[in-house]
Amino acid sequence: MPLVSVVPHARRAAARLPALALALLTACSMHKGHAPAATRMAAAPSYAIAEQASGESYQDVGKNPWVDASQDHLSTFAADVDTASYTIMRRKLNEGGLPPAAAVRVEELVNYFRYAFPDPAPGSPFAVVMDAAPSPLVPDHLILRVGVATRPRPPAEHKPMRLVFLVDVSGSMAAPDKLGLAKQSLKLLTANLGPRDSVALVTYAGDTRVVLPPTGSDDKHRILAAIDELGAGGSTAMASGLDLAYSQAMLGLAQGVTSRVIVCTDGDANVGPNGMPALLAIIADRARAGVTLSTVGFGMGNYKDALMEQLADKGNGNNVYIDSLAEAKKVFQDQLGATLEVVARDVKLQVDFDPAQVARYRLVGYENRTVADRDFRNDQVDAGEIGPGHQVTAMYEIELTTAARRAPAPLGQVRIRHKAPEGSDTASEAAFAMTAPPAASFAVAAADLRFAFAVTAFADLLRGQDEAKTWSLDAIAEVARASAGDDADR
């Protein structure tokens, strides 16, 4: 039976199908003209992406170009563990539409999923995986995966957390999938707090209010009752809310403690009289002082994705989007430590290609995380933070040299630079050689590499990348399904 014909059945059987394959099948049905009339793109090019008219805003970060390795053999970028783009994409597909091309950040789709990693070597914070295979799209091209992971940490070993929930209770949040889902999410987080953790609750609308001062997790009933009382109405004074939230966070600031502000909003915000640059400067200053910031997005219609990502980046936190209670459980229950704790600061990766082997390369994604090659060892340049059990995967497309096709050799090496989670700003650096030869064919490559490539190709199609247009959505879905394994998220 053709894939498009099984889409209605796949929707009813979603729990039994790989999640990405279901998303691909959904996209397949829309691509072939089976989308609802409101979202069908009549007479559009095969892979045109419809920008939906709404109050939402997304930043178009462009697409990384092909780079001649003989002119520039270094590819440098900051680690990124955000996943908001994936869940925004999933929600759009589930609602029968396509995400705006600017909403698709390839690395966030790839990093939404978990991959198999060895344990880090003794004394090293990172495990590294590098593997390659022939591209199924272009002869003589390789697909390269560079993955970095930190060691998971049992809940009992997590540092004490001093959290401030900063909740947008303005009128725009008055919907079940906004404030309603935010309250459910915060209750889940509260239920998973450890005995040494505490929570404060601050709200903002037309004015700001401390609903709950810092309260220990041994008084969860009080925390849950405060969350229950939240209701929406009024305008959106985010800047004032952040000021108040930081004042509460500073009360619990201490060495060996995770202090974080968690902003729950649809991103529709008044950033204050001094504008965005001043607000971002304050957030960066508080992060340097030890209070980090994460953004948790809810709802659609007026969602400000670019704002949410900017705030989290400056706050040395992460940016997630909650589209369901199941996603809230993943973020605030299954991956709580990775979501909120930091084990490595200012993490940068630099891939050093051997020009004798690599003619040119393309980093797929990370467009707004690239770092100038000269700044890899400049420790004043901000990069990305990684928590315990976090994984960062980057995908490259590589064109080999004629010499490499005749006599393959290692493609190069990967360097990782990072700082300790607190204390000294002195950075450490480690290098890892790409010694493993590429797989003989894409079909026999590691399942994780094939799955990550399927995600990458799907993301490239959604954002209109030329390199992916020679592959069909049906073929991508088949690769995703065949390589998903028993991972329920896939």
Every domain of the chain and the residues it spans: 155-340
User: How confident is the model at residue 470, as a pLDDT?
Assistant: 80
User: How confident is the model at residue 482, as a pLDDT?
Assistant: 93
Residue recorded with tokens 């590294």:
128
User: How confident is the model at residue 237, as a pLDDT?
Assistant: 85
DSSP single-letter state for residue 284: H
User: How confident is the model at residue 234, as a pLDDT?
Assistant: 82
Dump strand ranges (E) for 266-340: 291-297, 319-321
289-292: long-range contacts, CB 8 A cutoff, minimum separation 24: 289/250, 289/253, 290/253, 290/259, 290/422, 291/246, 291/249, 291/250, 291/253, 291/259, 291/260, 291/261, 292/258, 292/259, 292/260, 292/261, 292/316, 292/317, 292/342, 292/385
- Write down the CATH number for the domain with range 155-340: 3.40.50.410
Quick one: how far is CA 330 from the chain centroid?
13
In angstroms, the CA 159 to CA 342 distance is 10
Q: What is this structure's pTM?
A: 0.89
| Token couple for 471 | 């592959």
* pLDDT in single tens digits along all 490 residues of the chain: 222 222 233 333 344 456 776 676 566 555 554 443 333 222 223 333 334 446 889 999 999 999 999 999 999 999 999 999 999 999 998 888 889 999 999 999 999 999 999 999 888 899 999 999 999 988 889 999 999 999 999 888 899 999 999 999 999 999 999 999 999 999 999 999 999 999 999 999 989 999 999 999 999 999 999 999 999 988 888 999 999 999 999 998 898 899 999 999 998 777 776 788 999 999 999 999 999 999 999 999 889 999 999 999 999 999 999 999 999 999 999 999 889 999 999 999 999 999 999 999 999 999 999 999 999 999 999 999 999 999 999 999 999 999 999 888 999 999 999 999 987 788 999 999 999 999 999 999 999 999 999 999 999 999 988 877 788 888 898 999 999 988 888 8
Q: C-alpha distances in angstroms, 84 versus 46, 87, 301?
A: 26, 6, 16
User: How confident is the model at residue 9, as a pLDDT?
Assistant: 31
